[in-house]
Structure 1
Amino acid sequence: MATPLNIIFAGTPDFAAQHLAALINGEHNVVAVYCPPDKPAGRGKRLTACATKLLALEHNIIVEQPLNFKSEEDQQRLAQYNADIMVVVAYGLLLPEVILHSPRLGCINVHGSILPKWRGAAPIQRSLEAGDKKTGVTIMQMDKGLDTGDMILKTECEIEITDTSASLYEKLASLGPTALVETLALMAQPNYQASDHNVAQDNELATYAKKLDKAEAELNWQLSACELHRKVRAYIPWPVSQFTFTESGPEVEDKHHRLRVWQASVQVYQGNAAPGTIIKVDKEGIEVATTDGSLRLEVIQLPGKKALAVKDILNGRSDWFVVGSPINKLG
């Protein structure tokens, strides 16, 4: 018969908090929660606790917030909890080997991809950007590498053509807790042996999901419509794909506008307009030529305004979007 495990949980955002909630409502004991120090947020830059900390406090669980685990004091403090296992979900800190080996069963991680594909910081976004047909969650035994540990359990889901990073995040936030609970039930068995269940990753198949950068959000019309569409979906809710155009004319000093794209679709186009040229404007959207097909912009956001359907924006800004003109320059 399985004995409930004493668990240290480490995580930061809502994605992690949803996994913590599953543990709190389960049969195991969460003895401490680790998360980063509170950070300034909002216009007032007030120190704000992360979702994981708030949930832990709500359930009277001890919260620890070390800057890192470099000090011997922090290492010893964690060891004093005498935990069976440490569960890490989107924590944001690299763990030294002394921490990885401190709990009896070591540390396990919930990673938002089908490893060894998309190791790293942005697996959800990079899978969308690459046009993957499916993704999932991998529960792995952590080692000193970046997402290189042996895999304990995998679960998968389809990536739909309508998925954005936001919607895919929610799918994985639903899959992950179930997979985590199943993994812990396995590891809690008295005869559990990692060697009987864990599978080593094939490093030859590994890809790296580098952290997102704001500069990537600028749409490059020299790409195909399919590539641009994937980027639009991958960068929601951050940094949001965008394009910059310059308004100019005899009576207008050059003025730069940056527009965000919240929804778009791929259209068939076999004409010879230069990439970045507006080829059609109607209530359905603003169609822009690319190197292969066209991208129809359907929901966009003007500077300082909320995101709106193009048909609503054209009511006041139809002069900005003229067929035959480049989307990046007006006037």
Structure 2
Amino acid sequence: MHPHKTSTPFLFFFVLLIGIHSSSFAQQRKANNKVALNFNHLYFVIDSTALNAINSSDFVTDELVALENRTTEANGQTWTGTYMYGDENYIEFFDSAGLSGIYGTVPKGVGGIAFSVNKVGDLNTLKSQLEKTYTLDTFTRKRNYGKKIVPWFKSLSVKDSIFNSKTLLTSWVMEYKKEYYYHNGFIHQNDSLLRKNYLLDFEEKRKNKIVKRFSGVTLTLNQIETQFYKKWFKSIGYVETHPNQYVSPEGFLISIKSRKPSNSMVIESISFDTSQPTKDQIHYFGKNVSIEIKNNKGVFWFLQN
């Protein structure tokens, strides 16, 4: 079924599932003493036509979302993206014609998901839990602010060179550095470095915008990717609310669908909650991308090849 013409029901009604299973989070984390991992952000590479249309759309920039185009320099690498900010998470789009630097040369359809811990030291605790199952890699990313270099975050990911060289979807866990919060003047108390606090920097831009928070993503994965990520989501404490559906502690829903061999798009849709009652509407951005709002829920659709 064409994704632009028929809204997938679970993207508009997953809140019911989350409510049913919310108590299981507390029980599971208490039993396993797991570190709570929140969805932080995702990136997705789309074609130039769609990205240019998004950036030039009055609806997107004036009504839909707090949007920023910026170039970031870190660890000797640079990348330019389009950023959309919710009140507790964000997404970033990259142009398939010009993406380089941190991700190398990346074709349309590739994506990645970043999770984050909330306190200093949580990443080490998580590492001790996960290294019983995975070989892990950690490093610290430093961000350039002119001539000043500021520790940004510590990253943890699964070290599997064969899988990582073949998958279209990457994933990592972040623990922000105190120096990053100090430099930017973000609110922080004791050892808590919350993602909501650095996103307060965009609170003024979010005023009167439709998007409140990004609430879910539907991934399209091949068999090997599906096996890996189903195990990974369970390993980091996400609850399986339905076959191939996983929900984070704060209620971000990750759904998995099968990707056809001819398809190179790893994300089918990204859903969001609205901050205010909004009329049903749909907007198209080239041949591959649309934004649909229905029943005060919104979806970015990405047409599969």
TM-score between both structures, scaled by the size of structure 1: 0.20
Pick the structure with more strand per residue.
2
Larger Rg, first or second structure (1 or 2): 1
* Higher relative contact order (CA closer than 8 Å, sequence separation 6+): 2
TM-score between both structures, scaled by the size of structure 2: 0.21
